[in-house]
């Protein structure tokens, strides 16, 4: 897929208890809110696990990130479905055969509440 300025790439993911447990082991982020279910039986999803949604675009398009900015707006819980929209703000071929990319993103839960927003920049090799 060839990207261009203005493109919006959207995808979604429902976080499961197993995702939080695995990320806890990998990251060492063992806050009690990630380990102890709330009264509804949910765990709070780690912020950086939620942040893997916009970084998926980087992986899908071979982006070598240089900067990433995240603003965590509200908690995400297991069984929440998060819809992420990434908008390409800059996509420009450079003299060194690399392509500069800047993108912004917004992630919303199944109730259309914003949970995460930010931007990233880098180059495509």
Q: Can you give the pTM of this predicted structure?
A: 0.90
> What Cα–Cα distance (Å) separates residue 16 from each residue in 38, 55, 66, 86?
14, 19, 30, 23
Of the candidates 3, 103, 125, 4, which has an alpha carbon nearest to the alpha carbon of residue 53?
Answer: 103
Q: What is the pLDDT of residue 1?
A: 58
**Please, what are the averages of pLDDT over each run of 10 residues along the chain (125 residues)?**
90 96 90 87 96 90 94 98 97 90 97 98 91
Q: The sheet that has 99-108: what strands, in order across it?
A: 8-14, 81-93, 99-108, 114-124, 63-72
Residue with tokens 């900015």: 69
Scanning 1-125, the segments in alpha helix (DSSP H) are 17-27, 32-35, 47-50, 52-60
Hey, what domains does the chain have and what are their CATH numbers?
8-14+46-124 (3.10.129.10)
Residue 37: CB atoms within 10 Å: 13
Helix (H) or strand (E) holding 108: strand 99-108
CA distance 17 to 2: 35
């Amino acid at each position: 897929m060839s990207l261009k300025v203005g493109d919006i790439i959207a995808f979604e993911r429902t976080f499961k208890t197993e995702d939080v447990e695995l990320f806890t082991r990998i990251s060492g982020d063992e806050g009690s809110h990630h380990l102890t279910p709330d009264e509804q039986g949910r765990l709070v999803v780690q912020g950086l696990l939620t942040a893997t949604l916009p970084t998926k675009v980087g992986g899908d398009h071979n982006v070598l990130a240089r900067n990433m900015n995240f603003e965590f707006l509200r908690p995400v819980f297991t069984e929440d479905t998060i819809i992420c929209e990434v908008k390409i703000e800059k996509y420009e071929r450079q003299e060194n055969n690399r392509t500069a990319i800047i993108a912004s993103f917004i992630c919303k839960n199944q109730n259309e509440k914003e949970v995460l927003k930010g931007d990233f920049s880098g180059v495509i090799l």
